Amino acid sequence: MTAPAHRGSRRRRLGEAIAVLPARLVGAVLGVLTGALRRLRSPRPIHRTGIVLEGRIESTGPAHPEVEPSGIAWIDATAPGRVEARLSRGIGVPVPVPDVWGLAFRQALDTARLGVPASGDVLLATVAGSGGLGRFVPAVRLSPWGASFGSVMPYRSTRGPVLVSARTVSGAPASATTVGQARELGRTPWILQLLWATPRGPWRVFATLTLSAADGAAVDRADLRFDPLSSPPTGAGTFAWTRALRKRSYRAARRD
């Protein structure tokens, strides 16, 4: 490693160590709040109402072959396959009050067993926008219709931090209720583009996600849980500060 590269690596490590300290404090507060909320809203303190979806993920191939890869295997070599997903109201305020919507998905086990890059657990939330600070700010919406979804917090790749986003191509549910969404997505599939970007970079499409309401299945399932900390996408890591921010609240949300 050259001297400038070594200094750059050392600065990054120092920056991450500094970022962990406030993240731990905020994470501790979030853990206490989540634990208190769970006592009132067991078993799901947040994202308590939702709808189970099923579908497929398909790679779109590199739209810009000259662009350097993301450094995350799942993004750079997306394996096609089945997915299971859940669309939910994050805060859980009553309909029709706007809420932060969550979209979580993972590739089904038969895809993961093939030894190809699988999605792990991907958690996205409605965000204020796709550019500038908007991609980092969760935003409330009346429904998923017209909303942009983003990972808010970056994944760690071999090339640095990477964000993931989902944008509707067609079929986003306009209803704010699970029953209405099940009806809409039972008739018409929801098609989304999956994109990646560095924190300040442009978005680049890497896959298409197609989701529908599970035919004949229950609207929601209590056993369907997603955990981006213990099960990130293949080739993706997490930063110490994101783990510090999320760990206690995730633990409190799942405590028996």
Give CA separation, 150 vs 12, 35, 81, 164, in Å. 24, 25, 22, 6
Q: C-alpha angle with apex 225: 223 to 230, nearest 5 degrees?
A: 135
Specify whether the CB–CB gap between 51 and 87 falls below 8 A: yes
Quick: pLDDT tens for 227-239. Answer: 878 888 989 999 9
Specify whether the CB–CB gap between 248 and 29 falls below 8 A: no
Identify the pLDDT of residue 96.
Answer: 92
Higher pLDDT, 210 or 227: 210
Higher pLDDT, 245 or 178: 178
Q: Is the pLDDT of residue 39 over 80?
A: no
Q: Is the pLDDT of residue 2 over 60?
A: no
Give me the percent of the chain exceeding a pLDDT of 70. 79
Looking at residue 76, its amino acid is D
Q: Is the pLDDT of residue 84 over 80?
A: yes
> Is omega for the bond preceding 202 within 30 degrees of 0, making it cis?
no
For residues 17-30, give the mean pLDDT: 73
Identify the pLDDT of residue 12.
Answer: 61
Higher pLDDT, 137 or 13: 137
Higher pLDDT, 182 or 79: 182
Domains, the chain, in order of start with CATH, read: 47-236 (2.40.180.10)
Mean pLDDT across the chain, nearest whole number?
Answer: 84
Q: How far apart are CA 82 and CA 59, in angstroms?
A: 12
Q: What is the pTM of this model?
A: 0.84
Q: How far apart are CA 232 and CA 249, in angstroms?
A: 17
Identify the pLDDT of residue 145.
Answer: 96
For residues 113-126, give the mean pLDDT: 78
Identify the pLDDT of residue 120.
Answer: 86
Give CA separation, 170 vs 75, 136, 142, 144, 193, in Å. 22, 24, 18, 12, 10
Which residue from 220, 213, 205, 165 is spatially nearest to 187, judged by alpha carbons? 213
Higher pLDDT, 251 or 157: 157
Specify whether the CB–CB gap between 197 and 173 falls below 8 A: no
Q: Is the pLDDT of residue 221 over 70?
A: yes
Confidence of residue 112 (pLDDT cuts 50, 70, 90): very low
What's the burial of 10, exposed, middle or buried (CB within 10 Å: 0-12/13-18/19+)? exposed
Give CA separation, 214 vs 33, 37, 153, 172, in Å. 33, 30, 29, 16
Identify the pLDDT of residue 64.
Answer: 58
Identify the pLDDT of residue 150.
Answer: 98
Higher pLDDT, 99 or 67: 99
> Is omega for the bond preceding 96 within 30 degrees of 0, making it cis?
yes
Lowest pLDDT segment from 33-37, 45-49, 95-99, 233-237 = 33-37
